[in-house]
């Protein structure tokens, strides 16, 4: 049995057959997880300084030197690495006085802070499987982002109090700007919102819950949605990046909706984070985190770990980051690795290196290495950098 | 997936009864359920004026030949490997209630559907509720597929 680190569900029932140091056959792993491992094994990173291949020790020493000589270092990434490595990263940030941020959507930090501090009610995904009867996917498409979400937790499995499952007892609602793969499964309960119109949509739901006629959207459909939510015994909302980007600084609206729903029934929030240990990063950070866009403009050197910011971030932020010397710790080749001054290859977490991570709902999951590797893990590399600075 | 009406449009539509069935529409339904074969329609094979129709009909019927005994066709290129069908299949749940029943991947070999190397594969077809003469038209696996990777003929 192995743990998949392809997304934040950290599936624990993967059966692998390893042959000649590679995975030859695998069961129960979704296409995304399968692609994740196949991709990592194909193009491995090599230790490099300014485009020239060097020994691993030299690369680590150079990384420590660059960080030590920097006045405003930035440590970014962190969502695709273990809790132990994140803790080591926080120690480095403390010692250097560096700013630390991740590459998630800007308002995810605020939502995570509310959930972790307990001001937004939350539950584990096992509770969702056992008790939930209404699942709302808002601005998220788990069929593509977390392929096994519906089959393991939120819709299809039979739970303690939900033995008849999707056939009779569960309702799945999708709120999205387009008819996603998940929305096709929800059939009649797909509600389209205009891009940026999530705030209006929330106001409409609030109006229907108060027994008023909604101002925005199709009135009949909104009243139908209000009735489903009102009748729910145990509802769960899964807010995804679509909703967070749309609401931006108006997250209070969502909290108002949540408070209103909890007056009528039990409603919980489980975030849909993309990377396997984003949740762990926020849990260790105890706060909403810094804005990467501002930090990238003000830094003079950056350490990137567990992410590919140059490929993922908006162009202005990526350009600002690309102009400073980059130190990248990554198991495989990416755009950021290609542009980096110092590259330190690491073992793949969950495959070549063990550790612990937090699932999207905050459950701690430990994993062991499956394949032996000579490369050090993220945690070992950061510990060596911490010693050297 | 091709429909009986589309097949009917490619037949001679003369209701000549040479195939043993009363109408061409009945023959189209027979072709779709794979009880009849294209060669059993003599005018279509023998008469030259139907040549273009015959060619088109063979093209349309080609994907049906890959279907299993229950009429199940899996398109691996479309599959997400999400496992919705694995968990929803009533036979899978009966075979492994503590695994498939609660959303985990199956361990044994008694199940019909399971995910291997990132895509769904089909085994033990004889256990399927659509197998044999007393079949039930169960559609748990097709109705739960987000990408239409599973189809029945």
Answering whether pTM is above 0.90, one says: no
Residue A224 lies in a domain: yes
E strands, A178-334, are 190-192, 234-239, 266-269, 301-305, 326-330
Q: How many CA atoms lie within 13 A of A90 on its CB side?
A: 15
Q: Are A150 and B84 in contact (CB under 8 A)?
A: yes
Kindly state whether residues A243 and A171 are assigned to the same domain: yes
For chain A, how far is it from start to end, CA to CA, in angstroms?
Answer: 39
Which of A172, A167, A210 has its CA nearest to residue A189? A172
Residue numbers of the domain that contains A181: 108-269
Residue-wise pLDDT for A233-247, tens only, equals 999 999 999 999 898
Q: Would you identify the CATH topology of the domain B72-152?
A: Alpha-Beta Plaits (3.30.70)
For residue B80, the chain A residues in CB contact (below 8 A) are 30-32, 143-144, 147, 181
Cβ within 8 Å, pair A153-B105: no
Which of A140, A147, A114 has its CA nearest to residue A7? A147
Kindly state whether residues A151 and A168 are assigned to the same domain: yes
The residue-averaged pLDDT of B28-57 equals 88
Closest CB to A158: pick one of B83, B101, B146.
Answer: B101
Reported ipTM: the value is 0.87
Pick among B74, B83, B119 to test the A interface (most A CBs inside 10 A): B83
Q: State whether residue B138 sits within 8 Å of chain A by CB.
A: no
Between residues 57 and 116 of chain B, which touch chain A (CB distance below 8 Å)? 79-84, 86-88, 93, 99, 101-107, 114-116
Which of B54, B47, B113 has its CA nearest to residue B84? B113
For residue B147, the chain A residues in CB contact (below 8 A) are 143, 181
State the Cα–Cα distance between residues B109 and B145, nearest whole angstrom.
Answer: 22
Q: Structural domain boundaries of chain B?
A: 4-66, 72-152
Residue A168 lies in a domain: yes
Residue-wise pLDDT for A152-186, tens only, equals 999 999 999 999 888 889 999 999 999 999 999 99
User: Per the CATH hierarchy, to which homologous superfamily does domain B4-66 belong?
Assistant: Electron transport complex subunit B, putative Fe-S cluster (1.10.15.40)
Domain end marker among A269, A285, A309: A269
Kindly state whether residues A159 and A196 are assigned to the same domain: yes
For residue B102, the chain A residues in CB contact (below 8 A) are 129, 157-159
Tell me how close the Cα of A299 comes to any Cα of chain B, in angstroms: 40
For residue B116, the chain A residues in CB contact (below 8 A) are 25-27
Residue A289 pLDDT more than 90? no
Number of domains in chain A: 2
Residue A304, domain CATH: 3.40.50.740
Could you tell me the sign of the dihedral formed by the alpha carbons of A269, A275, A280, A281, in that order? negative
Cβ within 8 Å, pair B84-A156: yes
Residue A24 lies in a domain: no
- pLDDT over 70 for what percent of chain B? 100
The residue-averaged pLDDT of A128-151 equals 94
Give the tokens for residue A214. 């909604």
Length of chain B counted residue by residue: 153
């Amino acid at each position: 049995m192995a743990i998949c680190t392809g997304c934040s569900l950290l599936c624990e029932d993967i059966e692998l057959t390893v042959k000649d140091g590679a995975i030859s056959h695998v069961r129960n792993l979704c296409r995304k997880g399968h692609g994740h491992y196949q991709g990592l094994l194909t193009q491995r990173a090599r230790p490099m300084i300014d485009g020239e291949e060097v020994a691993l020790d030299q690369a680590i020493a150079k990384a420590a030197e660059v960080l030590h000589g920097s006045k405003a270092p930035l440590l970014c990434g962190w969502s695709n690495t273990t809790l132990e490595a994140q803790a080591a990263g926080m120690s480095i940030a403390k010692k250097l006085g560096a700013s630390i941020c991740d590459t998630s959507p800007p308002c995810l930090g605020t939502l995570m802070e509310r959930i972790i501090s307990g001001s937004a009610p939350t539950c584990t995904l096992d509770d969702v499987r056992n008790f939930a009867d209404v699942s709302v996917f808002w601005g998220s498409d788990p069929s593509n982002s977390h392929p096994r979400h519906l089959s393991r937790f939120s819709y299809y499995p039979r739970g303690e109090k939900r033995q008849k499952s999707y056939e009779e007892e569960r309702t799945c609602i999708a709120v999205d700007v387009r008819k996603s793969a998940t929305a096709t499964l929800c059939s009649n309960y797909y509600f389209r919102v205009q891009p940026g119109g999530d705030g209006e949509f929330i106001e409409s739901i609030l109006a229907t819950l108060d027994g008023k006629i909604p101002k925005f959207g199709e009135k009949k459909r909104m009243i139908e949605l209000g009735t489903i939510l009102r009748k729910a015994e145990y509802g769960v909302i899964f807010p995804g990046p679509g909703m967070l980007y749309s609401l931006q600084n108006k997250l209070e609206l969502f909290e108002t909706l949540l408070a209103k729903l909890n007056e009528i029934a039990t409603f919980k929030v489980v975030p849909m984070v993309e990377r396997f240990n984003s949740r762990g990063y926020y849990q260790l950070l105890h706060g909403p985190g810094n804005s990467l866009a501002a930090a990238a403009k003000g830094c003079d050197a950056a350490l990137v770990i567990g992410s590919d910011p140059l490929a993922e971030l908006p162009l202005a932020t990526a350009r600002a980051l690309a102009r400073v010397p980059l130190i990248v710790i990554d198991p495989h080749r990416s755009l950021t690795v290609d542009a980096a001054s110092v590259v330190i290859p690491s073992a793949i977490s969950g495959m070549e290196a063990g550790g612990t991570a937090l699932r999207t709902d905050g459950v701690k999951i430990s994993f062991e290495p499956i394949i032996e590797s000579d490369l050090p893990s993220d945690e070992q590399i950061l510990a060596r950098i911490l010693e050297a600075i | 997936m091709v429909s009986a009406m589309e097949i009917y449009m490619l037949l001679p539509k003369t209701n000549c009864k040479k195939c043993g069935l009363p109408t061409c529409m009945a023959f189209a339904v027979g072709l779709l359920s794979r009880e009849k074969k294209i060669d059993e329609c003599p005018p279509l094979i023998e008469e030259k004026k139907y040549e273009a129709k015959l060619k088109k009909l063979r093209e349309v019927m080609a994907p049906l030949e890959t279907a299993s005994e229950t009429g199940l066709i899996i398109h691996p290129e479309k599959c997400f490997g999400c496992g919705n069908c694995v968990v929803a299949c009533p036979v899978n749940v009966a075979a492994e209630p503590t695994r498939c029943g609660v959303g985990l991947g199956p361990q044994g070999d008694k199940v019909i559907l399971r995910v291997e190397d990132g895509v769904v594969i089909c085994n033990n077809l004889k256990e399927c509720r659509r197998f044999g003469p007393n079949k039930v038209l169960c559609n748990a696996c097709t109705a739960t597929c987000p990408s239409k990777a599973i189809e029945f003929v």
